[in-house]
Amino acid sequence: MKFNAEMCGYCGACVSVCPNNSLELTESKIIVNENKCDDCGRCTFICPLGAFYSEEKI
Ligand code: SF4
Ligand code: SF4
């Protein structure tokens, strides 16, 4: 899963829905640990601002 930091409103919703704990909320941004991500898509659906996208959709 790819992430557009400029679109992120920093609400933290995506962090709690990720089943693989691949999203990390730091003081100023979300970090995507792609090694742990299996592209389940949960973060894409939960994000109110559409900050996540998969490479296939570009
Ligand atoms: S696609 Fe799934 S596993 Fe990957 S970051 Fe989003 S919620 Fe986590
Ligand atoms: S759900 Fe979207 S807006 Fe909220 S912290 Fe995650 S990426 Fe940012």
Residue 39: closest CA among 58, 16, 56, 51: 56
Task: Assign 54 a pLDDT band (cuts: 50, 70, 90).
Answer: confident
User: What's the CATH fold of domain 2-57?
Assistant: Alpha-Beta Plaits (3.30.70)
Q: Is the CB of 23 under 6 A from ligand 1?
A: yes
pLDDT digits (tens, 9 = 90+) for 10-39: 999 999 999 999 999 998 889 999 999 999
- Cα 24 to Cα 27: distance, rounded to the nearest angstrom: 10
Q: Is the CB of 9 under 6 A from ligand 2?
A: yes
Q: Are 4 and 51 in contact (CB under 8 A)?
A: yes
Task: Assign 55 a pLDDT band (cuts: 50, 70, 90).
Answer: confident
Q: What is the CA radius of gyration of the chain?
A: 10
Task: Tell me which residue has its CA closest to atom 7 in ligand 1.
Answer: 18
Q: Are 11 and 51 in contact (CB under 8 A)?
A: no
